[in-house]
Structure 1
Amino acid sequence: MPRKTGILFLLLLSSLRLLAQTTFVNGVVTDAKTNAPLEDVAIFFPGTNVGTTTDVNGRYTIKIDGSPSMVRFTYTGYKTITRKIEPGEQSVSVQMTEESRTLKEVVVKPGKQPKYRNKNNPAVELIREVIAHKDDNRAAAYDYLAYQEYEKLQFSLSNSPEKLRKNILLRKYKFMSTSLDTTTLEGKAILPLFMQENLSQVYYRRKPEKTKREIIAEKRVSFDPTFIDNNGLSTYMKHVYQTIDIYDGNITIVTNQFLSPIADLSPTFYKFYIIDTTMLNGFPLIQLAFHPRNKADFLFQGSLFVTLDGHYSVQKVDMTINKQVNVNWVKTLHIQQEFEQNPDKRYHLSKSKLSADFGITKSGDGGLYGERTISYRNYEVPEQLDDSFFKGEALVHRTTADNKDDRFWEQNRHDTLSSSEKLVYSNIDSLQSTRSFRRVLNITTLLLAGYSKVGPYFEVGPVNTFYSFNPVEGFRGRLGGRTTPTLSKNIYFETYAAYGFKDEKWKYYVGGVYSFTNRSIYEFPTNKISANFQRDTKIPGQELQFIQEDNIFLSFKRGVNDKWLYNDIYNIDYLHEYNNHFSYKVAYKNWKQQSAGGLHYINDATGKPVESLTTSEFSLELRWAPHEEFYQGKLYRIPLPNRYPVFTVRGIVGVKGFLNGEYNYQNLSANIYKRVYLSQLGFSDIVLEGGYVFGKVPFPLLDIHRANQSYSYQLQSYNLMNFLEFVSDHYASIQIDQCFNGFFLNKMPLIKRLKFREYISAKVLTGGLRDENTPNKKDDRLYDMPTDANGNLSTYSLQKQPYVEGSVGLGNILKFFRVDVVRRFTYLNNPNVSATGVRVRFKFDF
């Protein structure tokens, strides 16, 4: 009998739950002849509705609260196997043999199996009904909704039991062995290191759409904030393990988008099969299996249970991803969702579980296992919730949320914790109190964040700035540090000193921050005032994101890099962030700049050198990043892109005569960043920007466009533009960076094994100079445009045409690197420019 792929029989309708104890069964199912693992074999306890299926490796894990006596294995084309089991934990592996039948006549016909088609396929017709009824079945179909939500987030070390028991954490800290769990992952043990629980009351309104969440209770493993940002860690893990909604067209998993099996376009990308019919509460269900047409695409495989009561609701989901999908680090990934029926006969999500096992290689034993479980109770459909109820913050913490005792959690958590989960809180607290482990954390922080603690109140760093070099300073040594939250959560100081052995000049920085929130200055939302003074060098037009300018890796530059500045900068600013991710910053900056290296400030009318230029300016910056998430590092915040845009508007006013300010001017600029997800075609990062300078000013006070002469690929800089090559008093730009996530390469034989990802980018900048800001040898308020060593003009305006560059690249090389070939299309006759270049970017990607 021909073999059908897909999910098979979860047949039995009634359940008799024996509450004596929990029974765990795991194992591997293989073909008796070939020993090949069998995928999608149905395993269940007879007499119950508890079942599961094998994964791509033939492995399975099934558990039940009770003491069943048998476990059964069924698979189309193979003989059904039933094995006796005992209460408790055990391993049952089986080899299945193909089912043979005696035939009266055998007819052999040449030719291929019938080709899969959507047309006249009842499985596809059924899934189209599910798609057509999506809007009626999702939670957002209700005008108002209220429910209680319980969330459990766990992160653990994973390995074979033998290897994990040899781990230094278990060998050196014996008490950690009490947290070892050998039941969750088939053939592996896990050691929980992080766990967080939240109990919330959630309210939803459809028009206008608004959700309000009240945190009733919260509990988590808390690390020393000197080493780890606990809020940032939680945010990052939730970003990786995002909430799953099967009714969404695209589902984000570990930062990549997968097409839902019930998306509008799912029949184009999936194959569907009807596997079985069964009954639930007197209503028929159909079990559908689904598989990707192309196993390398960002798609799922698994099974859906669909109701046939006229609503075509999803009652259960069980799915995973294929090993050929271009996702880094993920060995296995499993999604399970269950739905319960409302009084109006529709189904609501009652439980969702996302689990993933990560590792450096997919074949190795060692890795990290993460699991996020969300359950929902007490669904209510109010007739109306007062509009005033939704005003204010969308997320509210009860003042007692962090103070709930163990008894409260035992009575209110939706799931029972395993023995290893119960111990993780106390064990991690004990681990952090040991001196040797704190030394390990200190070394790890030094390697990853660049800082090392010197006593409890001060840390030295960042290490990657201790040594660098450039044409003006030659060899540059630097030493600095900052205070820690242990000294004060409200007050923070930072300083450094640097010396250039070529220019024989000292540079230094000293600054302080005061937080009005009685929390760390890094903890969102911040409300702080900062003041600092800096005497140092700078490259005009170099604007780096998340990197120190004197980073050793940026010392290597292409082309001529001799236009520098010496700066004395006094700065004071006030920043206020709100929970809705709107913020404003008010600042004052007094800036004295002197040209250095091959850069010279020359008075346009007299031809005499200008010793220095001083500006005195006030600024206001408004920023709104709805639903923004980020991980807070030691030096900066790392944004976690989502589908929402980020708006930034900045206004600067220069005041002549105030604290030696030499010019009156105004500078207005705006920036919009948006990540656009394109489902199977990946995503685009789009940046729109524009600016206008009001007033008559010399070129150092114009908009100096962001250039890049390093060999790294910088997303919002022009990678083949020279420093100080273009200036404008009005400009507009668009930058598009498209990642196809391997959509094309994954379909090419052999090449798809490399799991590269394709990139295409385009950057267009247009602008110009008004006559009043164009040097004409008559105005002593302007400076001559810079020239190179041969006297040729090296700084230009964009009057003739836009500056245009583009690139094509391969990403995910060795899972860390992106390499782009960049092409410059305009202004190729400017001196010392390159038409083509190769740039490299280091990026950690899933």
Structure 2
Amino acid sequence: MDCRNFYKRLFFLTFFLFLTSSFLFAQNTVITGVVTDAGNRQPLIAVTVSFPGTSIGTNTDAQGKFTVSTNIPTYDHIKISYVGYKEAILPVVPGKTQVINVKLFPEAQTLKEVDIKSGKKVKYRNKDNPAVELIRQVIAHKKQNRPESYPYVEYKEYDKMVFSFVNVNPKITEKKFFRKYKFVIDNRDTTSVPGKSLLPIYVDEKIAQIYYRKSPEKTKTTVLGEKHVDFGGAVDSEGIGQYFKHMYADIDIYDNSIFLMTNNFLSPIAESAPTYYKFFITDTLVINNTKVVELSFTPRNTTDMLFEGKIYVTLDGHFAVQHAKLYINKNINLNFVKTMHVNLDFEQNPDERYHLSKSTVYADFGLTKSKSGGLYGIRTRTFGSYAVNKPHPDTTYIADASANSDEVKHRTDQFWVQNRLDTLTTTEYNTYHNIDSLKTMPSYKRTMDIATLLLAGYKSFDWFELGPANTFYSFDPVEGFRLRVGGRTTPELSKRYYFETYAAYGFKDEKWKYFLSATYSLNNKTIYKFPQDYIRASVQKDVTIPGEDLQFVQEDNFLLSFKRGNNDKYLYNAYYRLDYKHEYESHFSYEVVFTNHTQSAAGSLYFNNVINGEPNTVTNLTTSDVTTTLRYAPNEQYYQGKIYRTPIPTKYPIFQLNYTQGINNLFNSSYSYAKIHAQIDKRFYLSQFGFADVRVEGAKIFGQVPYPLLNIFRANQTYAYDLYSYNLMNFLEFVGDHNESINIDQHFQGYFFNKIPLLKKLKWREVASFKGIYGGLSDKNDPLLHPALYQFPVDGNGQAITHALGSTPYIEGSVGVENIFKFVRVDLVRRFTYLDYLNAPKWGVRVLVQFDF
């Protein structure tokens, strides 16, 4: 489990602490049911169901279903109304959950003619279907209706995100424990979302000015103001906002795919939409003096990642979307989301085309589908001051780092009043003050301290954190029982200076290990914030496994102590290292690292060669080298914490190039060589087939080096599934001085399982992977041809355990199931080549713990 992903897991712990405590919630009046036509028994869409005389109500979905609730005991009737049908008012029992199915009768009408048809249901077809012909016109006009069709576009954007607890019982403040939190619990909103009482706990606002130029294409975003609640030192509020906004990504209905809740939904106006959706013309309206067609749509397969809802299409020749309502249905495989819907509003430009004026995403979260409890999130993006074809000088479209300075995070209340493009409710406004008061309370501080320890593994002491807890104890064949203690400083000590350290002791080898680093930020920002600009010096002495690709200071994670097969070949390492890293706003970065590295064999490993025909044992191998890393990750975003950051996967590729130059006779270095390594990472979104994470790599070594300096292919002998290592390759099994590899990890997101009733109910998802590496060893680095090089190790029987790849690549693949209990992935892994090698496993089962929606 990745301990750095703190706020992702904080999200789920919040569910556990607040959503499963049923006593927090009131005894609501909850009414569920289905509204149908009394004549043909077909479900009615968008019927209004409300409590008479109130604003509490809802609309039926595409199946005619509804849920409406209130915690006010005097409401004892519901009203059902729909244009063209007789209104119905029915009694309900206050304080109870009940099911009421309603049949509406049409208003009396005089029919001019009657067509008598057979009772056989007409099969839906795309051919000769006017609704499909209309949607194809919308698709054909997509390009001209996108904002990017203009040479110049500019507008102001106001982005507001609010997260709230749902239906918290106001009487909870009568309990002794919650009395001190009465000022927070009483700040409820009962009007924004019909049928729900919302208690806001998180508010995030941003105002930005956007400039777009088509040729040469350039988009510039200047943030004018940012504001969010501050939970105190234990929680990075900005990091929470980044994570939530990744779930509630910007929505463009004109894109083929719409990214929501870390999943890709096919847009109802995608090129392939008629293949996956059914379309129906349900009404013709006049809105803002423009004639529009109400086009309803439903998925052909309700288990696919598709929407249902309505779009309103203009009939003025532009075939533009004027309004859209998008819903997810209950059958799709989406974790923790009870309901979600999207409203999109468009305004007309002077040239009669339309631009997006407001986008609102509503999502109701919970561990279960229970109607009570949970979190409710609303993200609203409002656009104003929209102007097209208004050119500016080239300097307008050049990013200005100073424009996005810390000043924008400290705007006055007057600035926000004057510049908000949407309203801030009283409860949302009060949330800022309430959280400021809450974080000063000792009980709150204790709760956050416990959460930090459980989720990140660190015990906070304000300016210093002790941990991580999962490395306190581990074991291995060389060290035996190993104890470790360490920690790191936080921004509370300084934003410029950071220190990290640990000390460990092995009771079998009776040796001390340690790590110490000091980092200085050159831009007066925390070194974990983008853009990074820092210098770091570090020293480390520890034991590692050759070919195990683990985090720099956490290779003694307790869970990784359990390994399969023979695992007794280790290295003692002593590192002296100096790093400099610099990132640019364009997401290009470079890093220069000087390393002096001394390694010696441990366990059953040895460094043996032949000198002048005589066997020789080498005690230490020392190298000094300089590595330059160039990295370009366009549009990269992060889960940003106070003392970590984790990249968010996107559709954009990431390019990385490393060049290492070994320097002979520098600080006892024995070799001169060069290494080059190139890597490309890309996530491919495959519409209804999920997504695939692909990594392509290539590496080459120039010069003659012993095998510890060759490329030791990443192997994995643990029982955890490693995404980028070869899970059935043994440690130190393959080495080379040139190689090319590809790694494909395909997530089908339940595309096949959703069509199998049991698996659909379990919400399991299919996953498959393919890993292959091709390479070899040139003659100059072959110890059989050059005995002065270190000989490849052999086991006690003289059988080789380390090899160079031949003309056949190493290949393994897996099929598996993820989303077991919502966070477990299990893979059945198969090794396809080099099966006759010593202790080469053919099959294996591996487990990975990961959270996802």
Normalization by structure 1: what TM-score?
Answer: 0.90
Cα separation, partners in 2 of 1:598 and 1:110, compared to 1, 3 Å: farther
Task: Tell me by how many angstroms 1:494 deviates.
Answer: 1.2
Out of 256, 261, 270, which is 1:254 matched to? 261
Task: Tell me by how many angstroms 1:748 deviates.
Answer: 2.2
Task: Tell me by how many angstroms 1:490 deviates.
Answer: 0.6
- Establish whether residue 524 from structure 1 lines up as the match of residue 530 from structure 2: yes
- Establish whether residue 233 from structure 1 lines up as the match of residue 240 from structure 2: yes
Instruction: Give, as a single letter, the amino acid of the residue that structure 1 aligns with 2:425.
Output: S
Instruction: Give, as a single letter, the amino acid of the residue that structure 1 aligns with 2:212.
Output: Y
Q: Contact 1:554–1:710 at 8 Å: present in 2 too?
A: yes
Partner of 1:6: none
Task: Tell me by how many angstroms 1:453 deviates.
Answer: 1.7
Partner of 1:462: 468
Task: Tell me by how many angstroms 1:80 deviates.
Answer: 4.1
Out of 308, 318, 323, which is 1:316 matched to? 323
- Establish whether residue 597 from structure 1 lines up as the match of residue 603 from structure 2: yes
Alignment of 1:125-524 (within 5 A): 125-159=133-167, 161=169, 170-224=178-232, 226-363=233-370, 365-393=372-400, 396-397=403-404, 400-454=407-461, 456-524=462-530
Partner of 2:704: 696
C-alpha distance in structure 2 between counterparts of 1:764 and 1:438, whole Å: 49
Instruction: Give, as a single letter, the amino acid of the residue that structure 2 aligns with 1:267.
Output: P
Partner of 1:707: 715
Cα separation, partners in 2 of 1:686 and 1:633, compared to 1, 3 Å: same
Once structures 1 and 2 are overlaid, which stretch shifts more, 619-628 or 378-387?
Answer: 378-387
Task: Tell me by how many angstroms 1:387 deviates.
Answer: 2.5
Q: Contact 1:37–1:58 at 8 Å: present in 2 too?
A: no
Once structures 1 and 2 are overlaid, which stretch shifts more, 697-706 or 214-223?
Answer: 214-223
Out of 559, 565, 577, which is 1:571 matched to? 577
Task: Tell me by how many angstroms 1:790 deviates.
Answer: 2.2
Cα separation, partners in 2 of 1:349 and 1:641, compared to 1, 3 Å: same
Partner of 2:730: 722
Cα separation, partners in 2 of 1:92 and 1:214, compared to 1, 3 Å: farther
Once structures 1 and 2 are overlaid, which stretch shifts more, 497-506 or 103-112?
Answer: 103-112
Q: Deviations over 1:26-66 (max 9, x none)?
A: 976644999x99662333999xxx9973246413699xxxx
Instruction: Give, as a single letter, the amino acid of the residue that structure 1 aligns with 2:105.
Output: E
Q: Contact 1:469–1:555 at 8 Å: present in 2 too?
A: yes
C-alpha distance in structure 2 between counterparts of 1:268 and 1:169, whole Å: 56
Instruction: Give, as a single letter, the amino acid of the residue that structure 1 aligns with 2:48.
Output: I
Cα separation, partners in 2 of 1:171 and 1:790, compared to 1, 3 Å: farther
C-alpha distance in structure 1 between counterparts of 2:259 and 2:209, whole Å: 24
Would you say how many aligned residue pairs link Structure 1 and Structure 2? Answer: 801
Instruction: Give, as a single letter, the amino acid of the residue that structure 2 aligns with 1:148.
Output: K
- Establish whether residue 758 from structure 1 lines up as the match of residue 763 from structure 2: no
Partner of 1:12: none
Matched residue SS, 1:712: coil
Task: Tell me by how many angstroms 1:545 deviates.
Answer: 5.6
Q: Contact 1:307–1:315 at 8 Å: present in 2 too?
A: yes
Q: Contact 2:58–2:194 at 8 Å: present in 1 too?
A: no
Task: Tell me by how many angstroms 1:72 deviates.
Answer: 7.2
Partner of 2:560: 554
Cα separation, partners in 2 of 1:93 and 1:74, compared to 1, 3 Å: farther
Cα separation, partners in 2 of 1:398 and 1:826, compared to 1, 3 Å: closer
Partner of 1:43: 48
C-alpha distance in structure 1 between counterparts of 2:542 and 2:165, whole Å: 45
Instruction: Give, as a single letter, the amino acid of the residue that structure 2 aligns with 1:615.
Output: T
Alignment of 1:732-747 (within 5 A): 732-747=740-755
Q: Deviations over 1:440-469 (max 9, x none)?
A: 111111111111123x32221000000001
Task: Tell me by how many angstroms 1:537 deviates.
Answer: 0.3
Instruction: Give, as a single letter, the amino acid of the residue that structure 2 aligns with 1:522.
Output: Y
Q: Contact 1:161–1:182 at 8 Å: present in 2 too?
A: no
Cα separation, partners in 2 of 1:527 and 1:304, compared to 1, 3 Å: same
C-alpha distance in structure 1 between counterparts of 2:230 and 2:44, whole Å: 40
Cα separation, partners in 2 of 1:720 and 1:633, compared to 1, 3 Å: farther
Q: Deviations over 1:753-796 (max 9, x none)?
A: 2221111111110001111100126532x100011232210000
- Establish whether residue 820 from structure 1 lines up as the match of residue 831 from structure 2: no
Matched residue SS, 2:839: coil
Instruction: Give, as a single letter, the amino acid of the residue that structure 2 aligns with 1:97.
Output: K
C-alpha distance in structure 1 between counterparts of 2:481 and 2:533, whole Å: 39
Once structures 1 and 2 are overlaid, which stretch shifts more, 629-638 or 25-34?
Answer: 25-34
Cα separation, partners in 2 of 1:666 and 1:262, compared to 1, 3 Å: same
Partner of 2:73: none
Matched residue SS, 2:492: coil
C-alpha distance in structure 1 between counterparts of 2:578 and 2:355, whole Å: 52
Alignment of 1:724-803 (within 5 A): 724-776=732-784, 778-780=786-788, 782-803=789-810
Cα separation, partners in 2 of 1:770 and 1:164, compared to 1, 3 Å: farther
Q: Deviations over 1:98-155 (max 9, x none)?
A: 4278999999987630101111111111111111111111111111001111110112
Q: Deviations over 1:492-550 (max 9, x none)?
A: 11111101111111111111101111121211111111111111100110112698211
Normalization by structure 2: what TM-score?
Answer: 0.89
Matched residue SS, 1:478: strand
Cα separation, partners in 2 of 1:726 and 1:40, compared to 1, 3 Å: same
Instruction: Give, as a single letter, the amino acid of the residue that structure 2 aligns with 1:41.
Output: A
Q: Higher relative CO (CA 8 A, sep ≥ 6), structure 1 or 2?
A: 2
Task: Tell me by how many angstroms 1:180 deviates.
Answer: 1.9
C-alpha distance in structure 2 between counterparts of 1:489 and 1:176, whole Å: 32
Instruction: Give, as a single letter, the amino acid of the residue that structure 2 aligns with 1:812.
Output: N
Instruction: Give, as a single letter, the amino acid of the residue that structure 2 aligns with 1:728.
Output: G
Please, what is the CA RMSD of the aligned residues? Answer: 3.0
Q: Contact 2:220–2:399 at 8 Å: present in 1 too?
A: no
Task: Tell me by how many angstroms 1:439 deviates.
Answer: 1.2
Q: Deviations over 1:203-262 (max 9, x none)?
A: 1112232211111222111232x4223332221111011011111110001010000011
C-alpha distance in structure 1 between counterparts of 2:42 and 2:796, whole Å: 70
Once structures 1 and 2 are overlaid, which stretch shifts more, 605-614 or 304-313?
Answer: 605-614
Cα separation, partners in 2 of 1:203 and 1:167, compared to 1, 3 Å: farther
C-alpha distance in structure 2 between counterparts of 1:489 and 1:476, whole Å: 33
* Unpaired runs of at least 5, structure 2: 1-28, 71-77, 91-96
Instruction: Give, as a single letter, the amino acid of the residue that structure 2 aligns with 1:438.
Output: K
Matched residue SS, 1:446: helix
C-alpha distance in structure 1 between counterparts of 2:175 and 2:304, whole Å: 36
C-alpha distance in structure 1 between counterparts of 2:134 and 2:448, whole Å: 54
Task: Tell me by how many angstroms 1:75 deviates.
Answer: 6.6
Task: Tell me by how many angstroms 1:404 deviates.
Answer: 2.2
Matched residue SS, 1:172: helix
Cα separation, partners in 2 of 1:665 and 1:390, compared to 1, 3 Å: same
C-alpha distance in structure 2 between counterparts of 1:840 and 1:31, whole Å: 46
Q: Contact 1:160–1:189 at 8 Å: present in 2 too?
A: yes
Cα separation, partners in 2 of 1:109 and 1:140, compared to 1, 3 Å: closer
